[in-house]
Amino acid sequence: MSRLAVVIPTRNRGGEAAQTVLAILRDPRDFELVVVDQSTDDRTVEALRSIAPDPRVRVIRSPLRGASNARNAGVAATSAPIIAFTDDDCRPDPGWASAVLRAFDADPKTSLVFGRVRLPPKEREDDYAPSFEPKERIQEGAVPMPDGDIGIGANFAIRRSVLAELGGFDPLLGPGAPVFRGAEETDLLIRALHRGHRVVNATECDVLHLGVRTGADVRPLHVQYQFAVGAAFGKHARLSGLKGVLDASRWVRFYTKMTMTSLVQKRRPRPGVLWYFVSGALSTFRYGIDRESHLFRERT
């Protein structure tokens, strides 16, 4: 049995997904690689079929929407004890899969690994894409602040046993979700830290993120992600009592201070960051929460 499974969600981006798969296959190590295709046509399957046959690669179709649903389906279709995730607009470095395994092997207490996510050189001043540059190697206990180590879903890995304990990805969070279109990895990070797991931020696990937005596409991305981050913290404020409330309060204080500092320094303030975070947290009351799995559920 392979020690590593790689899961890639994709929807209507067959060419991009094929390039991501080719980048990962440059690592000769034995691993499972599953592409979960949520596309509305067969173009993704056809694009991946054009890749020279490699026994490590499989494509599964999923009728569900959302990255969280795709990742859960990919996990269910694999058996390796460590599962790594990246996106169809990312290009992992050669040896990425091996670097992920080494990060876990270096410390048996490691439960999650978030890798570095680089961006290409800017072509326009307002170009934007999520990235992650690790600062602290090890995270345990307290949930980091907004300017701390908040890894992103474009490059992370987790032990299968830990993911099962945490309940998997929340389908109401993440790209393609109906309301909270992001922060599925932040939600998982909070759950892991609250349950005493060790998180490692590994610069040696490196991917290039090509999903750059520009112009009018940038602000909606910021808004939807900040709203979803607020929902993740709001969920855990409801679940974890004082501990979760304190985590959310620290983020509110951070954004409030950031806004006031901008006003004092006569720079353009960004009160929307605070507003959407709080709005996302409060909107969680429209949903129930399963207290065993820590996942949102529709109210009946």
pLDDT digits (tens, 9 = 90+) for 87-131: 999 999 999 999 999 999 999 999 999 999 999 998 888 889 999
From first CA to last CA, the distance across the chain in angstroms is 42
In this predicted structure, what is the pLDDT of residue 269? 58
Same domain, 107 and 145: yes
Q: Say if residues 115 and 69 touch (Cβ distance below 8 Å).
A: no
Domain closes at, from 193, 214, 235? 214
In this predicted structure, what is the pLDDT of residue 124? 86
User: Cβ neighbours of residue 289 under 8 Å, at least 6 residues apart?
Assistant: 235, 238, 239, 295, 296, 297
Count of the separate structural domains present in the chain: 2
pTM of the model: 0.94
Same domain, 103 and 140: yes
List the alpha helices (DSSP H) in the chain: 14-24, 43-49, 67-76, 96-105, 160-166, 184-194, 218-240, 242-264, 271-283
Whole-angstrom distance, CA of residue 109 vs CA of residue 227: 32
In this predicted structure, what is the pLDDT of residue 169? 97
Same domain, 171 and 46: yes
Whole-angstrom distance, CA of residue 2 vs CA of residue 81: 8
In this predicted structure, what is the pLDDT of residue 173? 97
List the alpha helices (DSSP H) in 141-183: 160-166
Same domain, 75 and 154: yes
Same domain, 242 and 153: no
Same domain, 38 and 176: yes
Whole-angstrom distance, CA of residue 168 vs CA of residue 68: 9
Q: Which of the residues in the chain have pLDDT under 50?
A: none
Q: How many contiguous H segments (helices) and E segments (strands) does the chain have? A: 9, 11
In this predicted structure, what is the pLDDT of residue 52? 65
Burial of 72 (0-12, 13-18, 19+ CB in 10 A): buried
Domain closes at, from 214, 249, 277? 214
Q: What are the phi and psi torsion angles at 60 (to 5°)?
A: -120, 140
Q: Name the β-bridge partners of 159.
A: 82
The dihedral through the CA atoms of 135, 206, 83, 81 has a sign that is negative
- Structural domain for 272, as ranges: 218-297
**The pair of three-digit structure tokens given for residue 265, joined into one six-digit string:** 């320094």
Cα–Cα nearest to 54, from 28, 88, 80: 28
Same domain, 106 and 127: yes
Same domain, 106 and 240: no
pLDDT in tens, 54-83: 899 999 999 999 999 999 999 999 999 999
Same domain, 183 and 276: no
In this predicted structure, what is the pLDDT of residue 137? 97
Same domain, 180 and 67: yes
Domain closes at, from 214, 248, 274? 214
Distance of CA 261 to CAs 9, 222, 248, 249, 269, Å? 40, 21, 20, 18, 8
Whole-angstrom distance, CA of residue 48 vs CA of residue 45: 5
Based on its alpha-carbon atoms, the radius of gyration of the chain, rounded to whole angstroms, reads 19
Same domain, 233 and 166: no
